[in-house]
Amino acid sequence: MREKSLLSEAKQIQLAIELIQLGARLQVLEAHTKLSRERLVRLYKEIKGMSPPKGMLPYSEDWFMSWQPNIHSSLFINIYNYIIKYANINSIDAIIRGYKLYLEHINIYDIQRVLSLTRAWTLVRFLESRVLSITSCTSCKGQFVVHSLEINSNHICGLCNIPSRAGKTKKDKLKSDLSESKQQHAA
């Protein structure tokens, strides 16, 4: 019988811990570690204090095409591609490092997080399988995520051509309503 390497197992556990702390779903953990499902569930419960979410990953490639998710996905994938090109590390480590840099970037500018680690992982899988691809915006020359089968020769990104309802969330409406009512009471 072959003995398991304690060092190898420790590295697998450390990877799983890092992925769980970043919000990875169980499917991501199973895909990138050699730990049993039971150990991953126990580890998840210990770190998060609750059971991991059940069910299939609910993501389709269309999610990445709507305005705000496309901008965040494009930001992440540009960071990820830079890391792959210049850091000489494997896919999951590049996803982790790219996702941490994505989080740092949006935190600096106090932007709401739209992309979860699991969605970032799914995005990389969609790009590797050529369901999605990256194309340049004809206006700003930035690189953005698009459907692979669409004609993208004249692509204009969501930053150069902001939709009229972009950023109009219920939370924003509530803030503006509160602001207006304060101004009315002050007058």
C-alpha angle with apex 90: 97 to 3, nearest 5 degrees?
A: 110
- Residue 90: pLDDT band (50, 70, 90) is confident
Express each pLDDT in 20-71 by its tens digit: 999 999 999 999 999 999 999 999 999 999 999 988 886 789 999 999 999 9
User: Where are the chain's structural domains?
Assistant: 6-48, 61-147
Which residues, 6+ apart, have CB-to-CB distance to 124 below 8 Å? 77, 80, 91, 95
CA dihedral 145, 169, 108, 81 (to 10 degrees): -10
**For the chain, how many residues are written?**
187
Determine the straight-line distance between the first and last CA of the chain, rounded to whole angstroms: 82
- Residue 4: pLDDT band (50, 70, 90) is confident
| Token output for 166 | 């972009």
Q: What's this model's pTM, rounded to 2 decimal places?
A: 0.84
